[in-house]
Chain A
Amino acid sequence: MAEHIQILLKNIREKDYHRLEVYEKFGGYASVRKALEMDPLQIIEEVKTSGLRGRGGAGFPTGLKWSFVPRDSGKPVYLINNADESEPGTFKDRVLLERNPHLVIEGMLCAAWALQSNMSIIYIRGEYAYPYTVISAAIKECYQKGYLGENIFGSGFTHHMLVHRGAGAYICGEETALLESLEGKKGQPRLKPPFPAVEGLYGCPTVINNVETLSTIPWIVANGGAEYAKIGVDKSSGTKLVSASGHIKKPGVYEIEMGYPLLEFIENECGGIREGHSLKAVIPGGSSVNILTAEECKGVNLDYESCREHGTSLGCAGFMVLDDSVDMVEAVLNLAHFYAHESCGQCTPCREGGHWIEKVFARIARGEGLPGDMELIESVCAQIGGHTICAFGDTMVLPYLSILKKFAPEFRERIDAALKGLEVKRKMLNMEFDGAH
C-alpha cells in the first residue's frame, strides 16, 4: 500500500474517537481556536489558496464559492452541510459522520466564522439513522462544553447548529432541492441564478458544502492553504476520500492523494479484482458519470483533470468496480430504474424520459428488444440532457450513453437473440421484484 497523507481519516481507528474528549486529546478543536483569532476574510483567502474543490461531485472551488456571499446584505448567512449522500456507489461521508463527527463540526465552525454565519444545518439523508445519532450526540457534547452556542471560546462569536433529517429523496443532494426541502417543500431544484450564495435558505445568503469539503477546513486553517496545495496534483489539490465497492477484495473508504493512478488504486489498496475474474469496467465517480472500460482505465489518475481528459469525471469518487461477470445490459437497466425512480418530476424531459429509457432497456434485457432500440435510447437521451432545470437530467444520460456505446455488442446480441426468438438468460439482477415492469 502506498503511503498517503491522512487528513480526514487520521486517528479514526482510535477508541471512542467520536467523543469530544478523545478528539481533543488528539489535538481537536485547535483549528477553530486559531480560526477565531484570524480575520474571516483571511480564512477565505487560505481556502482559495489551498485549491480545495467541492467534494460533493461538482468540484467547484470552495474558496470562490465562499467569496460570493455578500457581506453587507443585512440578512443572516446560513451554512448548510450537505450530508444527503445518495449517489450510488458513495458512502464516504458516512464514515466521517460516524467516526469523525467532531472534525465535521470543527470544519463547520471554521467555515461559519469565515462566512460570519450564526447558524448552520446539517442536512442528512433519512436512512442514515446511525450517523444521525452520532453527529447529534457530538453536537450535544459541544453545546454542553460551550463549543456551540453563544460566545464560543470566549470570542464573542455565536453559532447554532442543528441536524435535519431528509426522508428519502436522492434529488435533495442537489443544493437548491436541499434548500426547498429544508423550507418544508418537495425537493425540487430551483432555477439558478439567483445562486444560493446570494439568495438561498429563506431568501438569505447561504453556502452549501459537502461533509468532506467542510471536514478539510480545519487542516487548512492549521497548516495554511499553501501547504494543502502541495498535496495532490495541479488543479486537484489535497486528498480525496474514495468509496470503493463492487468486485474488489477490499471494498471500503480510502483516503488517497489526488492523482493516484486508478489501476494502482485497485491493485494496491483494494486488493485487486476478486479471484478468478478480470476487470471489465470502472465507474469512477458515482453512477452519474461515464463508464470506463478496463482498457480505458490505463493511464487514468484519480484527480479531476485526468478523469476529465479520459472522458469521465471524478465526481464524488463513488468508485464502482465491475468484473467480467457483469452483464452490462442488466447493469444499465439497474441504473435506469434508479434514475427513473429518483427524478423529482419537475421537468418533463427527465420525468417522462427517464421512464421511457428504463422501459426500453428493460425490454432489451428481457429479450424483447426491437431493432432500433439502441438508437431510440440515444435519441431520448439527447432530448433530456441540457433540457432540464438541474444537472440530474444531464448526468443520468452519461452512464446510459457511455455503456451503450462502449458495450454495444452486448446490446446488439440481446436484440438479435430477440429477433431470432432465442431465450435470454438473465443472471444478475432482481428486476422481477421491482414491480415496475
Chain B
Amino acid sequence: MAKEISEKAEKRLAEIIEKYPEKRSAALPALYIVQEEHGMITEEGIKWVAERVGLSPVHVKELATFYTMFHEKPVGRYHIQVCRTLSCAICGCKGLSEYIVNRLGIKPGEVTEDGLWSFEEVECLGSCGTAPMVEINDTYFENLTPEKLGEIMDRIEKEKPDLSLSTINDKLGEGLKGHPRSEVYP
C-alpha cells in the first residue's frame, strides 16, 4: 500500500525549504519529516524528498543509508538507543543492554512482537559525564542502572508518554514527568 505524505508535512517542508539559500540543503530535514510520517524511511518518502528538494531518488536513498538516525526498517513505538562507547562502557552500559535483552527477549536491531519496543547499541551520544545512559526516541535518560532503566520502562509501558521531538518540542527536556533530567555539570 502506497504511503501518503500529509498536507501538514507538505506545508512544513515548504516552510523549511524557504529558509535555506539552496533547497537541496533541506534534504535531511525532509527525511526527518518522512520518518515522522511513516515511522521509517519509505520508498514513497524518498521519491517525495527527491522531488521537493531537487535531488535524484538514488541520491536521497544514499543519504538515508549514510546517516544512522534514519531507519530503513520499522522500529518500535519506543526505540531505545544504548550508548556503548568508552565512557559508558567503563561505567556499566553492558548491564543496560543485558537488562533489555532479558526483559524484552529481543536482540539489537529487533522489534518486540507487539511493536512497542526496539533497541540498538549506538556510538557516543555526548552524555559521558552521566554514563551509562540511553536515548528513548528523542529523550535522554542518564545516570542509569538496570533497575532505574526498568522503572523507566515500566512507566513508559503504563503511561505511553510522548518522547519525540516532533510533537512535544519545548517540553522535551522534561522527559518523563517527574523523572529528573540530569545535570551535565557538577
* B is a partner of A: yes
Q: Which residues of A contact B (CB under 8 A)?
A: 9, 12, 76, 85-91, 94-95, 98-99, 119, 125-130, 132-134, 137, 162, 164-170, 181-187, 202, 243-247, 250-254, 283, 287, 318, 320, 322, 325-326, 330-331, 334-335, 337-338, 341-342, 344, 428-430, 433-435
Closest residue on chain A to residue B131 by CB atoms: A245
Q: List the A side residues contacting B94 at CB < 8 Å.
A: 428-430
Q: List the B side residues contacting A129 at CB < 8 Å.
A: 138-139, 165, 172
Per the 8 Å Cβ criterion, residues 57-97 of B in contact with A are 59, 62-63, 66-70, 81, 84-87, 89-91, 93-94, 97
B10 at the interface (CB under 8 A from A): no
Q: Which residues of B contact A (CB under 8 A)?
A: 19-22, 24-29, 31-32, 53, 55, 59, 62-63, 66-70, 81, 84-87, 89-91, 93-94, 97-98, 101, 107-109, 121-131, 135, 138-140, 165, 169-170, 172-173, 181, 183-186
Distance in angstroms from B146 CB to nearest chain A CB is 13
Smallest CB-CB A-B distances: 3 pairs = A168-B68, A167-B67, A245-B128
Asked if residues A89 and B86 are in contact (CB atoms below 8 Å), the reply is yes
Asked if residues B90 and A331 are in contact (CB atoms below 8 Å), the reply is yes
Could you name 23 residue pairs across A and B whose Cβ atoms are closer than 8 Å?
A88-B86, A94-B126, A125-B126, A128-B126, A132-B165, A164-B25, A168-B70, A184-B22, A184-B26, A185-B63, A187-B66, A245-B131, A246-B91, A250-B186, A252-B129, A253-B129, A253-B185, A254-B185, A326-B90, A331-B86, A338-B86, A428-B89, A429-B89
For the A-B complex, the count of residue pairs with Cβ-Cβ distances under 8 Å equals: 195
Asked if residues B138 and A251 are in contact (CB atoms below 8 Å), the reply is no
Asked if residues A430 and B89 are in contact (CB atoms below 8 Å), the reply is yes
Q: Max chain A CB contacts within 10 Å: which of B29, B81, B89?
A: B89
Distance in angstroms from A322 CB to nearest chain B CB is 6
Asked if residues A435 and B63 are in contact (CB atoms below 8 Å), the reply is no
Asked if residues B67 and A287 are in contact (CB atoms below 8 Å), the reply is no
Distance in angstroms from A269 CB to nearest chain B CB is 8
Q: List the B side residues contacting A166 at CB < 8 Å.
A: 28, 67
Asked if residues B128 and A320 are in contact (CB atoms below 8 Å), the reply is yes
Asked if residues B140 and A130 are in contact (CB atoms below 8 Å), the reply is yes
Q: List the A side residues contacting B70 at CB < 8 Å.
A: 167-168
Indicate which residue in B63, B108, B127 contacts A91 across the interface (CB closer than 8 Å). Answer: B127
Separation of A254 and B185 alpha carbons in the complex (Å): 7
Asked if residues B186 and A252 are in contact (CB atoms below 8 Å), the reply is yes
Indicate which residue in B25, B84, B130 contacts A434 across the interface (CB closer than 8 Å). Answer: B84
Distance in angstroms from B107 CB to nearest chain A CB is 7
Distance in angstroms from B48 CB to nearest chain A CB is 15
Given A12-B185, A253-B129, A341-B123, answer yes or no on A119-B90 (Cβ-Cβ < 8 Å). Answer: no
Distance in angstroms from A288 CB to nearest chain B CB is 12
Separation of A430 and B85 alpha carbons in the complex (Å): 10
Distance in angstroms from A40 CB to nearest chain B CB is 22
Q: List the A side residues contacting B28 at CB < 8 Å.
A: 164-167, 181, 184
Separation of A162 and B19 alpha carbons in the complex (Å): 8
Given A127-B135, A129-B165, A167-B28, answer yes or no on A334-B89 (Cβ-Cβ < 8 Å). Answer: yes
Indicate which residue in A170, A181, A245, A433 contacts B123 across the interface (CB closer than 8 Å). Answer: A170
Separation of A252 and B126 alpha carbons in the complex (Å): 11
Closest residue on chain B to residue A90 by CB atoms: B126
Asked if residues B66 and A186 are in contact (CB atoms below 8 Å), the reply is yes
Q: List the A side residues contacting B24 at CB < 8 Å.
A: 183-184
Distance in angstroms from B104 CB to nearest chain A CB is 13
Indicate which residue in A168, A184, A251 contacts B27 across the interface (CB closer than 8 Å). Answer: A184
Separation of A322 and B87 alpha carbons in the complex (Å): 9
Separation of A187 and B63 alpha carbons in the complex (Å): 9
Separation of A76 and B122 alpha carbons in the complex (Å): 38
Closest residue on chain B to residue A129 by CB atoms: B138
Indicate which residue in B90, B109, B124, B184 contacts A98 across the interface (CB closer than 8 Å). Answer: B184
Closest residue on chain A to residue B137 by CB atoms: A129
Separation of A337 and B20 alpha carbons in the complex (Å): 36
Given A91-B126, A250-B186, answer yes or no on A169-B66 (Cβ-Cβ < 8 Å). Answer: yes
Q: List the A side residues contacting B127 at CB < 8 Å.
A: 91, 94
Asked if residues A165 and B66 are in contact (CB atoms below 8 Å), the reply is no
Asked if residues A184 and B55 are in contact (CB atoms below 8 Å), the reply is yes
Given A318-B128, A433-B101, answer yes or no on A130-B139 (Cβ-Cβ < 8 Å). Answer: yes
Q: List the A side residues contacting B181 at CB < 8 Å.
A: 130
Q: List the B side residues contacting A181 at CB < 8 Å.
A: 28
Separation of A119 and B70 alpha carbons in the complex (Å): 28
Separation of A170 and B122 alpha carbons in the complex (Å): 11
Closest residue on chain B to residue A85 by CB atoms: B126
Q: List the A side residues contacting B109 at CB < 8 Å.
A: 435
Q: Max chain A CB contacts within 10 Å: which of B93, B94, B123, B126?
A: B126
Q: Max chain A CB contacts within 10 Å: which of B69, B81, B140, B185?
A: B185
Asked if residues A91 and B128 are in contact (CB atoms below 8 Å), the reply is yes
Asked if residues B173 and A130 are in contact (CB atoms below 8 Å), the reply is yes
Separation of A244 and B131 alpha carbons in the complex (Å): 11
Asked if residues A167 and B68 are in contact (CB atoms below 8 Å), the reply is yes
Q: List the B side residues contacting A320 at CB < 8 Å.
A: 86-87, 128
Indicate which residue in A119, A184, A243 contacts B63 across the interface (CB closer than 8 Å). Answer: A184
Distance in angstroms from B30 CB to nearest chain A CB is 9
Asked if residues A246 and B90 are in contact (CB atoms below 8 Å), the reply is yes
Closest residue on chain B to residue A1 by CB atoms: B186
Distance in angstroms from B168 CB to nearest chain A CB is 9
Q: List the B side residues contacting A132 at CB < 8 Å.
A: 165
Separation of A331 and B31 alpha carbons in the complex (Å): 35
Asked if residues A251 and B126 are in contact (CB atoms below 8 Å), the reply is no
Q: List the B side residues contacting A435 at CB < 8 Å.
A: 107-109
Separation of A315 and B68 alpha carbons in the complex (Å): 25
